[in-house]
């Protein structure tokens, strides 16, 4: 028995050592590859953090099973409230409000290819004609300023985690603030348009529907509910993407050479309203339908992509696979942006907020002052995240306050600390409020002062 134990122990030690070597070699390779690719992309991009990001993700992925959270709504058992017990707030069964609302399993014939909708062809021409006929709905609202719709959302059900909805609320406030400053429209979705495409795939039918319903929208900006704006001053360099239709944070080498499943991020991306976009949505969707299709596709993705754990197909892995395997078809219109944090992995950012405040200022959008801090893996709304809940929520509060301070300073306030909900006055009020400028010039930012133009 003791020999067996020792044998088992030694065997585990050897396996662990092998795993560590594997990680080390991978990191070295990545270091060389990425350094080679980023020289010349500017001194200030998102290079050094990359390794940490990937390594951290790798470690977590290996150590935890990544499963889509169970959408089991706990019943809050209680005595029925009724009219004679009005103060029984904390203990009533919210699901009683939705009798008959039980979800049915989507019935999809796995032999029939999934379609997002009827094929739409010649969308560019149709859209162009519509824009000409509707000059009051221009697709550019200023010189080089496209009309943008920021799209996000969450489940129509209350979060399984009681504080989850509070964080969703803070998240949408954060997005409203950024969007107001930047002349961007907001669409908050709480409807599941296609039961087959539930979970992370739900964005595809939604995005398609919105593009087709809003020809005036030039760019659709999808943003996850767990992503926060942390640079209120940073304006996306729209002109950089004049020849591109899809912009995601990521690295070419990670996607095309390594086929790494985290080579890009689909939690925050820009999609131009055009035929190409409809086509790529159609090409992206087939791995999404819940059940057998998604499960089988998941196995393909784990096999085909680097370091991907075993779980059902997700939209991000599917996009990596799509681009890597059909580069010649899509690649030239896809911009993998790493010069600023269109998506910024929270793990490598949140401990540096104080350092950023000390050494930098808003407007960079990159590792100095990230545009977006994205709490991947935290899942504040669900029951099963990849990180300890207290750590996630604490850091989400800090990131929220970090961004919120930039809004509050317009009005002469800031949070007492990055950890505090409370605010304090930092600029005295005056009898001549218009003579006082806020430090960041965000009260009337240049990128919001727009003129209507019908140029396309």
Footprint (CB under 8 A) of a copy of itself, residues 124-183: 126-127, 130, 134, 136-137, 154, 156-163, 165-166, 168-170, 172-173, 176-177, 180
Site for a copy of itself in 23-82 (CB under 8 A): 74, 76, 81-82
Rounded Cα distance, 360 and 343, in Å: 19
Rounded Cα distance, 222 and 386, in Å: 23
Rounded Cα distance, 334 and 328, in Å: 11
CA dihedral 253, 256, 262, 268 (to 10 degrees): 100
Q: Does 212 bind a copy of itself (CB under 8 A)?
A: yes
H-state helical runs in 333-417: 353-359, 389-408
Min. distance of Cβ 43 from a copy of itself in angstroms?
34
Rounded Cα distance, 71 and 159, in Å: 9
For a copy of itself, which is the closer residue by CB, 52 or 163?
163
Residue 228 contacts residue 306 (beta carbons within 8 Å): no
Min. distance of Cβ 80 from a copy of itself in angstroms?
8
Site for a copy of itself in 312-341 (CB under 8 A): none
Near a copy of itself by CB under 8 A: residue from 92, 222, 311, 369: 92
Q: 339-356 as b/e, with b when 16 or more CB fall inside 10 Å?
A: bbbbbbbbbbbbebbeeb
For a copy of itself, which is the closer residue by CB, 9 or 129?
129
Rounded Cα distance, 299 and 312, in Å: 7
For a copy of itself, which is the closer residue by CB, 38 or 406?
406
Residue 115, SS3? coil
Query: What angle separates helix 2-38 from helix 48-63, to the nearest 10 degrees?
Result: 150
Tell me the sheet residues that pair with 186: 150
Near a copy of itself by CB under 8 A: residue from 376, 393, 399, 418: 393
- For 151, list phi and psi in degrees, rounded to 5: -115, 130
For a copy of itself, which is the closer residue by CB, 117 or 286?
117
Min. distance of Cβ 14 from a copy of itself in angstroms?
25
Site for a copy of itself in 399-428 (CB under 8 A): 404, 408, 410-413, 416-417, 419-423
Q: Does 100 bind a copy of itself (CB under 8 A)?
A: yes
Start-to-end CA span in the chain (Å): 77
Min. distance of Cβ 330 from a copy of itself in angstroms?
23
For a copy of itself, which is the closer residue by CB, 33 or 120?
120
Site for a copy of itself in 260-299 (CB under 8 A): none
Min. distance of Cβ 165 from a copy of itself in angstroms?
4
Q: Which stretch binds a copy of itself (CB under 8 A): 27-35, 51-59, 243-251, 447-455?
A: 447-455
């Amino acid at each position: 028995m003791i020999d067996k134990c020792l044998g088992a122990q030694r065997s585990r030690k050897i396996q662990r050592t092998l795993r560590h070597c594997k990680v080390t070699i991978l990191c070295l390779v990545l270091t060389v590859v990425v350094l080679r690719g980023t020289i010349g992309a500017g001194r200030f991009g998102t290079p050094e953090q990359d390794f940490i990001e990937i390594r951290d993700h790798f470690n977590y992925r290996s150590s935890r099973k990544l499963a889509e959270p169970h959408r089991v709504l706990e019943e809050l058992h209680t005595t029925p409230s009724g009219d004679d017990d009005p103060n029984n707030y904390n203990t009533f069964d919210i699901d009683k409000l939705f009798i008959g609302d039980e979800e049915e399993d989507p019935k999809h014939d796995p032999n029939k290819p999934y379609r997002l909708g009827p094929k739409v062809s010649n969308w560019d021409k149709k859209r162009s004609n519509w824009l000409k006929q509707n000059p009051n709905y221009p697709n550019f609202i200023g010189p080089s300023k496209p009309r943008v719709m920021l799209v996000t959302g969450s489940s129509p059900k209350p979060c399984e985690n009681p504080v989850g909805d509070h964080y969703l609320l803070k998240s949408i406030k954060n997005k409203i603030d950024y969007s107001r400053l930047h002349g961007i429209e907001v669409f908050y979705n709480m409807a599941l348009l296609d039961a087959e495409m539930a979970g992370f795939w739900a964005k595809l039918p939604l995005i398609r529907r919105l593009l087709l319903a809003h020809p005036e929208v030039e760019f659709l900006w999808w943003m996850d509910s767990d992503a926060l704006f942390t640079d209120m001053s940073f304006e996306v360099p729209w002109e950089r993407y004049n020849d591109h239709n899809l912009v995601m944070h990521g690295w070419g080498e990670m996607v095309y050479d390594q086929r790494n499943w985290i080579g890009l991020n689909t939690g925050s991306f820009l999609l131009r309203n055009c035929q190409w976009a409809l086509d790529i949505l159609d090409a992206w969707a087939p791995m999404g339908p819940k059940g057998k299709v998604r499960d089988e596709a998941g196995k393909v993705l784990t096999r085909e992509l680097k370091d991907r754990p075993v779980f059902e197909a997700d939209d991000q892995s599917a996009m990596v696979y799509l681009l890597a395997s059909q580069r010649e078809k899509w690649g030239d219109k896809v911009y993998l942006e790493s010069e600023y944090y269109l998506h910024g992995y929270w793990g490598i950012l949140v401990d540096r907020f104080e350092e950023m405040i000390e050494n930098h200022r808003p407007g960079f959008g990159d590792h100095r002052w990230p545009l977006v801090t994205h709490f991947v893996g935290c899942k504040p709304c669900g029951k099963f995240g990849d990180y300890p809940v207290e750590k996630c929520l604490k850091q989400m509060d800090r990131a929220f306050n970090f961004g919120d301070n930039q809004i509050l300073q317009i009005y002469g306030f800031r949070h007492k600390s990055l950890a505090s909900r409370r605010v304090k006055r930092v600029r005295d009020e005056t009898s001549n409020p218009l003579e006082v400028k806020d430090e960041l010039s965000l009260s009337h930012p240049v990128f919001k002062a727009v003129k209507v133009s019908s140029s396309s």
